[in-house]
Structure 1
Amino acid sequence: MRLERVAAHVPDGARLADIGSDHAYLPVALMRRGGIATAVAGEVAMTPFNAAQRTVRDNDLEQQVSVRLANGLAAIEPADGITAISICGMGGETIRDILEAGKARLSGQERLILQPNGGEQPLRQWLMDNGYRIVGEELLRENRFDYEIIVAEQDGPVTYSAEQLYFGPLQMQARNPAFLAKWQSILQRKQQTLASFARARHSVPEDKVQQVARQARWITELLA
């Protein structure tokens, strides 16, 4: 379901680079239904690289999907004319670091479709700092985990508040049930953390206490 929702944000006819492609399921599925023109599946580790090659071969798509062993955006060449980049299933900080390290390979014309496993705030911060506007956000629950999808396009400069970076600017507007349920449970955890801080007052740095208290306050206001 998660990859299906990511696929829905890839524009029709895109030239897709799927970074950290694993089994190349996303580019192969999109190619098979005629949703994209061509794809690059990038993998940094040998085992998933071999798995991706196998998926592409089994589907007779070697001409349309190029599987490359490379670190992050080093899988992309200017000649690929990439118009969409998907990076899914890793921490937000890792996705941020991949984008930062590969900045020279971004033309600014690509749509970024990102699915972080946590660490959404620092990833949104990078997008804002680099002139990317968040044009789509989605939250879905699968196997008891909450997954966020962040879609961004370069349209800067753009400014988000600290709260928007924390919650997601479009999520805050939409306030759908999955989003509210997620933050309800996070608020409970924040309150438990603050209670444990109070019991161990002497050993917790004050700025740490303040940070968690501020986040708990933001969530309480959001849910009010």
Structure 2
Amino acid sequence: MIETVKLSKRLKKVATYVPEGALFADIGTDHAYLPCYICLHDEKARAIAGEVNEGPFNSAVETVHLYGLSDSIEVRLGNGLEVVENEEVNQLVIAGMGGALIRSILEDGISKLNAVNRIVVQPNIDARTIRKWFLIHGFTVTNEAILEENGHIYEIIVADRGENRSPYDASLVDQQLLFGPLLMKNRTATFYQKWKHEHEKLQTVINQMDKAKVKDIQKINQFEKELKWMKEVLSDD
């Protein structure tokens, strides 16, 4: 018997948000470890594993074959949501990319999302841009997680369609988009670790911008506002 797929800590956490019996797409699947892990643990789950690069696509095909999951997982070569048809999947996973790229994948493939009721994302940077996209397009953030692995801190965001209870406070939306509305309510040691580091980085950026011969006053003001938010968040540590 083939043992289960060995997943990273972050992808194991992502997998917990894919519901039982899911019909989902994993975009940017790489070696298809995530869909294989899910389908090995859930016989009813079905997946489309999408990959834009031929090398990882071939590796994904091999992984699916190795675990005997060809009836449960279809590996497709293509860019973003080009690999799925409209109303073909109910859940969507996009993990391990920058926030701007994830947002562009969602935006470019918005016509494919009509039947998607849950999106799980794990951006490596700039989670805020995805939260903004969810807010604009009727997906409600219902779960967030933050974790550290191999010296990196990752955020995971789960958004559901048709969930009426907004996690946002009208007076704090800008701050909550940055920090995560649910992460702000349940601040862990990892949350404080991340934002202490981000505070230090942003302070350095502002110091450098202040020394420039031509100053971008508007951007400096925005960064100083965000720095103030970070100080306020860290003061609760």
TM-score of the superposed pair, with normalisation by structure 1: 0.93
Equivalence for 1:113: 120
Amino acid corresponding to residue 168 of structure 1 in structure 2: G
Note the alpha carbon deviations across 1:80-102, whole angstroms, 9 max, x for none.
Answer: 3x121100000001000000011
> Is 2:207 the counterpart of 1:202?
no
Contact 2:124–2:154 under 8 Å retained in 1: yes
> Is 2:153 the counterpart of 1:141?
no
Counterpart CA distance in 2 for 1:214 and 1:36 is 48
Counterpart CA distance in 2 for 1:95 and 1:126 is 10
Shift of 1:221: 1.1
Find the partner of 2:37 among 14, 21, 29.
29
Equivalence for 1:126: 133
User: Which is richer in helix?
Assistant: 1
Shift of 1:202: 3.0
Shift of 1:205: 0.8
Equivalence for 1:185: 197
Task: Name the SS for the 1:60 alignment partner.
Answer: coil
Shift of 1:79: 6.2
Equivalence for 1:19: 27
Counterpart CA distance in 2 for 1:41 and 1:25 is 10
Equivalence for 1:221: 232
Contact 1:16–1:36 under 8 Å retained in 2: no
Structure 2's unaligned 5+ residue stretches are 1-8
- After superposing on structure 2, the runs of 4+ consecutive aligned residues of structure 1 that deviate more than 3 Å are 156-160
Find the partner of 1:162 among 155, 159, 174.
174
Equivalence for 1:68: 76
Shift of 1:143: 1.2
Shift of 1:36: 4.8
Note the alpha carbon deviations across 1:106-159, whole angstroms, 9 max, x for none.
Answer: 025421010001011111111101011100111111111111101001237858
Amino acid corresponding to residue 105 of structure 1 in structure 2: K
- Alignment CA distance shift 1:46-1:203 (3 Å): same
Q: Percent identity?
A: 38
Note the alpha carbon deviations across 1:182-222, whole angstroms, 9 max, x for none.
Answer: 10121122222223333x15322101211110110011111
Counterpart CA distance in 1 for 2:191 and 2:198 is 11
Contact 1:114–1:151 under 8 Å retained in 2: yes
Contact 2:142–2:167 under 8 Å retained in 1: no
Q: How many residue pairs end up in the alignment? A: 222
- Alignment CA distance shift 1:71-1:145 (3 Å): same
Equivalence for 2:58: 50
Note the alpha carbon deviations across 1:54-109, whole angstroms, 9 max, x for none.
Answer: 000111111110001121111112463x1211000000010000000110010254
